[in-house]
Structure 1
């Protein structure tokens, strides 16, 4: 079906607004959008509420600049900066004649919808990327300010259901657009050498990538780690924790008291997580809740098997092959045995990895994601759901 043409003459100014531009799943998908959107139909601009990322975390900024997009950084550091940030963003929307605002992440979602309303922006879409279960006040604010949003873009059907039930967002205001993966980027990434990190070259590496906080469940992963880190004939298991966060010291303390402490490696944040995925045996995701975990999509793109808890978006990602790779939350005690199963059965591990990659190619390409966003923006420009007065 041919997509509708825009009522605007020439390309439509679209501002993508996010909390910050340090590397992350939401940030990466924003950069895909900004750099690959159809320039004959849209003029992409990027605004970050926070300051520019530090030099060692500026990979996404570099990609934007290379594409001719110079982001606006509002240098907000706390809620005390909210009035100034709102005024600056309102002025930016007016100065750039922004017709569509597409925001990502909670803080940017709230600030962007208010500033857009003040500036008279024609259409506002807010990205909901997680089923937030810890900060319930987020849901109350979403509900309170929802009249100022034309569409809520959820990354999974599970998140859509969550905000409909928990935040009271009307279903007609919700659209689902999953994250996208660049398969070529996966293929072109050079695999890491484990020996660089003091790990045997033939080790069976179990990989975790992500923040070290309560949501991600690394605490409970470590408490059962001895159950899958015991060496067996032909299997030399090691667990790599790739990421930082507020719980790192606590998690390292847990690891030090385990029998397999020497097989657990905290490597901190790394700018090229795909290189670790390329070399790993499998990815583990012990999360308590999610939205649509981008790291699982990246593992799929790299042709890797996954062991994950049943969180929002995971069934949609893994499909039928999820039966082996997904552990229900209420059956957490089976997580270690599922890891051991995939370590022991190489043929199964490789088959699942190949199926995951094929599914990523078929259903979660970057082009598919971008097409969905472009269709949404043009629909909103034709007949946006106008906010209530």
Structure 2
């Protein structure tokens, strides 16, 4: 509920192709929970429906969702329909995410006097040819392009050196690095909130604010569980997964696709087990590479040390279970899951992909290798497993780094400034 005395809120339409459980998608509800919803009203329009989606999270965050069914190239036949929808709803800003939605937003924006904000989550070189060309040829027809890392911003600038349209114009490129809600992604001993309870509460003067202690706690599969007296019920989760008490856990949260190179992740795990046979490995997520990765694990004969839990609405309990967050990615923007792990005091061992090198200071919050030198990740994991004190100090440094540089409050503050400025310029 919003106070009657509040001025008219700025209506923001998030435009995105689908609502799967990727990092770009999850940022929409997570930022909305921190936004001042007395000033901003959020909607989300998407086009491709998936079974594993974030619709519940969007609703819990106060975001109204809308579906216009379409796939990839079909989106361009929906320009007129989206234009009418924007006019009917009276939106003040379109904020598009990822190339297909960005291209569509720019076509709509050409016909309407509405500011277009676009967030780029990856370097352009990693997109397929159609996405790349569509992005490039329409890129100047928007007001602000937000890059999630300096490397992504550099990619934007390098790829728009040549442009078939006039150079300059209204476009600004701004770096707004991804953030994490450090009050949600943390280790704590307060009992988590039961599934379905709202994270926001109404104050006496009619405003809404986020409660500090809210955590939805989701267990394995479709089941759920509550915490025990110890920190967030982790012994219960260990028992459910079959991980012995005291065994170290190396984990990863990811969409199972080729850029994550999870076959290398499994290869590293098998090598680490030769030195530390009691270590367990935890994978959270799903995707097109699932069967190949699970088959690789099965063929290794080490299945008892591997745990795949699929997609989880709340990854906090799984992150807290991890002692090391291991990433073998070939490319990234600025991975949200890694920031969430850091906020939960998990040191990082990773390739220097995308914006990861902008976050991790080698030897402080974890260890980095060059992308093609992924085999060195094994030695860094073993070093942390051999040295609990180093692991502990890096864990605390990881959280400190996120609080200082990558908090959701900082990110949302920058987004709200951008929203306000593009509206003022358009008046």
Give the structure-2-normalised TM-score: 0.80
Equivalent residues of 1:49, 1:108 under 8 A apart: no
CA distance in 2, matches of 1:46, 1:335: 39
Partner of 1:289: 331
Q: Does 1:92 align with 2:134?
A: no
CA distance in 2, matches of 1:323, 1:68: 34
CA shift in 2, pair 1:125/1:78, >3 Å: closer
CA distance in 2, matches of 1:191, 1:105: 37
CA distance in 1, matches of 2:184, 2:326: 21
SS at match of 1:75: coil
- The structure whose residues are more often helix, as a share, is 1
Pick from 385, 392, 402: which aligns with 1:350? 392
| 1:381 positional shift | 1.9
Equivalent residues of 1:315, 1:322 under 8 A apart: no
Partner of 2:127: 135
For residues 164-243 of structure 1, the aligned pairs below 5 Å read: 164-168=157-161, 173-187=172-186, 190=232, 192=234, 193-230=237-274, 232=276, 236-243=278-285
Equivalent residues of 1:139, 1:166 under 8 A apart: no
Equivalent residues of 2:348, 2:365 under 8 A apart: no
CA distance in 1, matches of 2:352, 2:288: 24
Pick from 67, 87, 108: which aligns with 1:115? 108
Partner of 1:44: 42
Structure 2 residue runs of 5 or longer lacking an equivalent are 1-6, 187-191, 193-214, 216-231
Structure 1 residue runs of 5 or longer lacking an equivalent are 1-8
CA distance in 2, matches of 1:317, 1:291: 11
Equivalent residues of 1:183, 1:361 under 8 A apart: yes
Equivalent residues of 2:352, 2:370 under 8 A apart: yes
Equivalent residues of 2:364, 2:394 under 8 A apart: no
SS at match of 2:419: helix
CA distance in 1, matches of 2:365, 2:247: 26
| 1:299 positional shift | 0.6
Pick from 140, 146, 152: which aligns with 1:153? 146
CA shift in 2, pair 1:315/1:23, >3 Å: same
SS at match of 1:102: strand
CA distance in 1, matches of 2:335, 2:62: 29
Equivalent residues of 2:29, 2:61 under 8 A apart: no
CA shift in 2, pair 1:47/1:322, >3 Å: farther
For residues 228-267 of structure 1, the aligned pairs below 5 Å read: 228-230=272-274, 232=276, 236-258=278-300, 260-267=302-309
CA distance in 2, matches of 1:108, 1:79: 11
Partner of 1:31: 29
CA distance in 2, matches of 1:105, 1:191: 37
Equivalent residues of 1:230, 1:237 under 8 A apart: no
CA shift in 2, pair 1:250/1:145, >3 Å: same
CA distance in 1, matches of 2:280, 2:45: 40
How many residue pairs get matched?
369
| 1:20 positional shift | 2.1
CA distance in 2, matches of 1:127, 1:82: 20
Equivalent residues of 1:99, 1:121 under 8 A apart: no
For residues 8-23 of structure 1, the aligned pairs below 5 Å read: 10-23=8-21
1:219-271: per-residue Cα shift (whole Å, max 9, x none)? Answer: 12223332212254xx7211122221112222222223335443223332222
Equivalent residues of 2:179, 2:406 under 8 A apart: yes
Equivalent residues of 2:333, 2:355 under 8 A apart: yes
1:201-225: per-residue Cα shift (whole Å, max 9, x none)? Answer: 3221110110112100111222333
| 1:132 positional shift | 4.4
CA distance in 2, matches of 1:117, 1:15: 16
CA distance in 1, matches of 2:58, 2:372: 43
SS at match of 2:44: strand
CA distance in 1, matches of 2:38, 2:366: 45
Equivalent residues of 2:147, 2:176 under 8 A apart: yes
CA shift in 2, pair 1:335/1:167, >3 Å: farther
For residues 324-343 of structure 1, the aligned pairs below 5 Å read: 324-343=366-385
Equivalent residues of 2:22, 2:255 under 8 A apart: no
CA distance in 2, matches of 1:294, 1:330: 22
SS at match of 2:146: strand
| 1:323 positional shift | 7.8
| 1:276 positional shift | 0.5
Partner of 2:64: 70
